[in-house]
Structure 1
Amino acid sequence: MISARGQKHAGKVTPFWTAFDRIIGDAFCHETNPGGIVNMAISNNSLLEPELLAFFGANLRLQPVDLTYGTSLFGSHRLFASLCRHFNLGHTFAPVTPVRPEHLITGPGCGPLLDQLAEHLAEPGDGILVAAPYYNGYDADLACRAQVQCVAVYSSDDDGTGAQNFEGVSALRNFAATKDKWESEHAGQTVRAVLVCSPHNPVGRCYDREALISYGRFAEEHNLHLIFDEIFALSTYSSKPHCTSHTSDPSFHSALSIDWLREADCDPARIHIIWSASKDFGINGLRVGTIVSQANDELLRALKATAKLYMVSSPADALFCALVDNQCVYDDFIRTNQARMAQAYSVIARWCEFHEISMKQCTAGHFVLVDLTRFLPDHVDGEPLADLPAREGALWTSFLSHAVCLTPGSNYHCTRYGTFRLTFTLRRIALLEGLSRVEKALNLPSWPHRDEALTEIEQSMETIAAPENMPTVTQAQLGVSQNVVAEPIRALDVAASTARARAGRRDYVDSLRSMLKDGGGSEVLLNCGMGMNTPACA
């Protein structure tokens, strides 16, 4: 027997957790698993994967202290110094007040850090306002342990993706009304904070400076904390000539760059920033992140009580610091990554243009929102689908049956069914293979510029030179691109695991199709992401 709380958590592990586990366990690799699933759902940046593997392989330098509990329970002295360097140097964050070690609490990624902030800023059942659409992992990050609810704020003018939702005071559309309505419907519960994702996931845009200041004024007026998720801060790029809809500066502005008291009349003690190396450096697996709170000593003391449960491992600490502390590598990495992102975005934009698929124009993040409404099926195996959720779920399932995974926009609280988020920061072969499989799932003709795009990408890899101290390595040197395994057992393991994965894929696709035919479209969509309680797409 387990506790009632444990039973509640166990109930959240739906059959779709198994589906997600099989998706990532059956990952496409053109050498070792060419029939595997091309994952265009998770926000994973592989554009500098070979260079990172080579650099980390040559630069892991552990000290004796790394084999102990380290130099601090809240993040090592080495990690504090590297994070301060990261925030204070350059023009990206441009802090008004330099970030110091005493402003930081570290942890293994933004999810655990949000969990801690929810624990210390709100009571169970309280709410945090988030503009919709929003990253679906927030729901689980806030609710799993802290039992805090995400309160979605919907635009009254559009689907929440238009420019006005990221510019000036119009970014605060419906916030006050949503807060009042939610509190009136939840007696005894209070909205405690606002959570702002900039650059935005899943829209791929940055809030302008006036919008951030407007958020600060709103937080002060309503006595709220203001949390900024800046996990994509360095993942910006030029989308010209494909992006023409921006009416203001699309550049990233960090919350650290604002003098909150002077510019917004907002108490700086309300301002908290989370950032992780996962997205900007393409290292989701290393799990290095931090909270920056420069004017709230009480919160930092509270965080220290839980931080020891979320320590960053010494090897991850050491590898991240090696990358950040080498200024040449750090600068070149950011430049190269942004250039390759722009090139990959160009491929997606031209592919969508050819197929007359509408997409939201972006300047940040690893993904685009595409409108696939016209492809939503009416039937599954000859049986009619009851509603739009079922039709969107059926299209998602069809993608899986073609060994490619995208994420339905309803997972991100998009109001328009048929919107999907598509990640484009894949290695060139995986990107083009994924697009080819999407074409098959949608019964579209092959993009005639595929070979041209492949050549263009290969040439750009030469012109967009890798960082000087991060040499590229060949696949032969790596062993395999997904996992480095011993050569004698590789063929046997790959064949066996691929066979198991494909058999499992047939099983869960069949179960999803059955659920859709039984009228379970909403249940499919509520669980078809990849993350915590509803497995979510980072």
Structure 2
Amino acid sequence: MASHMNEYFRPVRQLDAENITFAAGVTALNEACALALCDPGDAILLGQYNYGAFPTDLVARTGLSFVYAAFGDSDQFSENCVKHFEAAYDQARQNGVNIRALLLCSPHNPLGRCYSQAALRGLAKFCEKNDLHLISDEIYALTVYQRPRHANESFTSVLAIDEGIIDPDRVHVLYGFSKDYAAGGLRLGCVISHNRAFTQAVRGGVCRFSSPSHFSMDIATKMLEDRPFIIRFLQDSIEALARQRVLVEALLDQSRISHLKEGNAGLFIWLDLSEFLDPYQQLDDGWAAEAALAAKLAAGGVVLSTGKRYQSPKPGNFRMIFSYDEGTLREGIKR
């Protein structure tokens, strides 16, 4: 894995096996980061749109809380995002909340976008200034495709941030096999860090009961050692995703379903179905109207993740996965 990440993530400091700790999935490692870096009562800072399972993974058993940065109409993937994180951090401090880490999802789930290098450098400076750890969930790192006739974004790992901006001991990256390699059944994730004390804590205590299967490790090792297979698999994957993105956007446009135009990462697209919410129910409780629409869609055989799950600031957004065959996509959008 170290050789693989050195090739694809291009870290400024080369990785070796001692920098990487495996567990039975990234879910366990999310919690491990929280337990190793924070004390009960502390908080973690996130952007308002974020991966829907973070609250369960990092908060359920740790005694932590989340502080969310709101971005309004600003581009949260540009350097402008830094001032919004700073504002949320300052407000939390005024409220007596002790923030210990900034958590990013990069590439982003559910918006499918990549942080610019300027944004990552700015966030690294922000973390260094305020004595924060920078945790980056990069599980979609190699699921970044090229869309024709669009301004495509590139993935940059926080491990590739220029030296001297942030203490490497503050930087921790989460990665796994479930997304880029379509191998969720292996239940195999890893955390990458140059911080020896953090690595020792995760290996020696926190993840003691989350050890990965030896069978999974063996399969993963054989996959990563077969470089021609890995190169071909990843290339086939991003080419297929690019084709499906073009198809799904065409189908959504034909059906006049509003969706996020930006983004070229991940397996999903962000929909705006707010016009289909029950107007009377929405006046009383917009989130209940969103849940009712989700239930109605599910009854018709279409299961979408609701915006509320991803801390959407307003009801009516849904995440739709488009990595299906063409027939399934056409039927789902028609319904």
Same fold by TM-score, threshold 0.5 exceeded?
yes
Residue 52 (structure 2) aligned to one of 136, 139, 152: 136
SS at match of 1:166: coil
Q: Partners of 1:427 and 1:100 in 2: how far apart?
A: 39
Q: Which of structure 1's runs of 4+ aligned residues deviate more than 4 A?
A: none
For residue 205 of structure 1, report the CA deviation from its aligned partner.
0.4
CA deviation digits over 1:461-483, x for unaligned, max 9? xxxxxxxxxxxxxxxxxxxxxxx
Is the aligned partner of 1:85 residue 2:7? no
CA deviation digits over 1:342-394, x for unaligned, max 9? 011111110111122221122101111111111112368xxx97221121111
Instruction: Please tell me whether the aligned partners of residues 239 and 362 of structure 1 are also in contact (alpha carbons under 8 angstroms).
Output: no
Match of 1:229 in 2: 137
Residue 165 (structure 1) aligned to one of 72, 76, 83: 76
Match of 1:289 in 2: 189
Instruction: Please tell me whether the aligned partners of residues 47 and 69 of structure 2 are also in contact (alpha carbons under 8 angstroms).
Output: yes
Match of 1:181 in 2: 91
- Tell me the amino acid that sits aligned with residue 86 of structure 1: H
Match of 1:440 in 2: none
Residue 209 (structure 1) aligned to one of 98, 101, 117: 117
- Specify every segment of 5 or more residues in structure 2 that has no aligned partner in the other structure, as ranges: none
SS at match of 2:179: helix
Q: Partners of 1:286 and 1:106 in 2: how far apart?
A: 12
Instruction: Please tell me whether the aligned partners of residues 166 and 211 of structure 1 are also in contact (alpha carbons under 8 angstroms).
Output: yes
Instruction: Please tell me whether the aligned partners of residues 141 and 180 of structure 2 are also in contact (alpha carbons under 8 angstroms).
Output: yes
- Tell me the amino acid that sits aligned with residue 297 of structure 1: R
SS at match of 1:128: strand
Match of 2:42 in 1: 126
SS at match of 2:221: helix
Max Rg structure: 1
Is the aligned partner of 1:239 residue 2:147? yes
The within-5 A match list for 1:355-374 is 355-360=255-260, 361-374=262-275
Match of 1:310 in 2: 210
Match of 2:333 in 1: 435
Q: Partners of 2:291 and 2:241 in 1: how far apart?
A: 29
Q: Partners of 1:173 and 1:415 in 2: how far apart?
A: 18
TM-score (norm 2): 0.95
For residue 193 of structure 1, report the CA deviation from its aligned partner.
0.4
Instruction: Please tell me whether the aligned partners of residues 103 and 292 of structure 1 are also in contact (alpha carbons under 8 angstroms).
Output: yes
Residue 278 (structure 1) aligned to one of 178, 191, 194: 178
The within-5 A match list for 1:404-483 is 404-437=302-335
Match of 2:158 in 1: 255
Match of 1:448 in 2: none
**Cα RMSD, aligned residues only:** 1.7
For residue 131 of structure 1, report the CA deviation from its aligned partner.
0.9
Q: Partners of 1:378 and 1:398 in 2: how far apart?
A: 15
For residue 215 of structure 1, report the CA deviation from its aligned partner.
0.7
SS at match of 1:250: coil
Instruction: Please tell me whether the aligned partners of residues 352 and 358 of structure 1 are also in contact (alpha carbons under 8 angstroms).
Output: yes
Is the aligned partner of 1:109 residue 2:25? yes
For residue 112 of structure 1, report the CA deviation from its aligned partner.
0.7
- Tell me the amino acid that sits aligned with residue 256 of structure 2: E
Instruction: Please tell me whether the aligned partners of residues 236 and 252 of structure 1 are also in contact (alpha carbons under 8 angstroms).
Output: yes
CA deviation digits over 1:100-139, x for unaligned, max 9? 0111111122111010010011111211111111111111
Is the aligned partner of 1:347 residue 2:258? no
Instruction: Please tell me whether the aligned partners of residues 269 and 320 of structure 2 are also in contact (alpha carbons under 8 angstroms).
Output: yes
SS at match of 1:298: helix
Instruction: Please tell me whether the aligned partners of residues 107 and 155 of structure 2 are also in contact (alpha carbons under 8 angstroms).
Output: yes
Instruction: Please tell me whether the aligned partners of residues 153 and 263 of structure 2 are also in contact (alpha carbons under 8 angstroms).
Output: no
Q: Partners of 1:100 and 1:259 in 2: how far apart?
A: 19
SS at match of 1:279: coil
Q: Partners of 1:317 and 1:300 in 2: how far apart?
A: 19
Report the identity percentage: 31
CA deviation digits over 1:155-185, x for unaligned, max 9? 1x32xxx6x21122x1213212212222333
Instruction: Please tell me whether the aligned partners of residues 12 and 163 of structure 2 are also in contact (alpha carbons under 8 angstroms).
Output: no
- Tell me the amino acid that sits aligned with residue 78 of structure 2: E
SS at match of 1:120: helix
CA deviation digits over 1:204-258, x for unaligned, max 9? 00001111111110001111000111000000111223x4xx4xx6100111222
Q: Partners of 1:229 and 1:113 in 2: how far apart?
A: 10
For residue 313 of structure 1, report the CA deviation from its aligned partner.
0.4
SS at match of 1:234: coil
The within-5 A match list for 1:36-51 is none
Q: Partners of 1:413 and 1:209 in 2: how far apart?
A: 25
> How many residues are paired up?
333
Residue 70 (structure 2) aligned to one of 112, 134, 154: 154
Higher relative contact order (CA 8 A, sep 6+): 1
Instruction: Please tell me whether the aligned partners of residues 216 and 260 of structure 1 are also in contact (alpha carbons under 8 angstroms).
Output: no
Instruction: Please tell me whether the aligned partners of residues 165 and 173 of structure 1 are also in contact (alpha carbons under 8 angstroms).
Output: no
- Tell me the amino acid that sits aligned with residue 147 of structure 2: S
Q: Partners of 1:173 and 1:136 in 2: how far apart?
A: 24
Q: Partners of 1:313 and 1:432 in 2: how far apart?
A: 38
For residue 323 of structure 1, report the CA deviation from its aligned partner.
1.6
Q: Partners of 1:321 and 1:147 in 2: how far apart?
A: 36
For residue 322 of structure 1, report the CA deviation from its aligned partner.
1.8
Q: Partners of 2:254 and 2:327 in 1: how far apart?
A: 19
Q: Partners of 1:376 and 1:412 in 2: how far apart?
A: 18
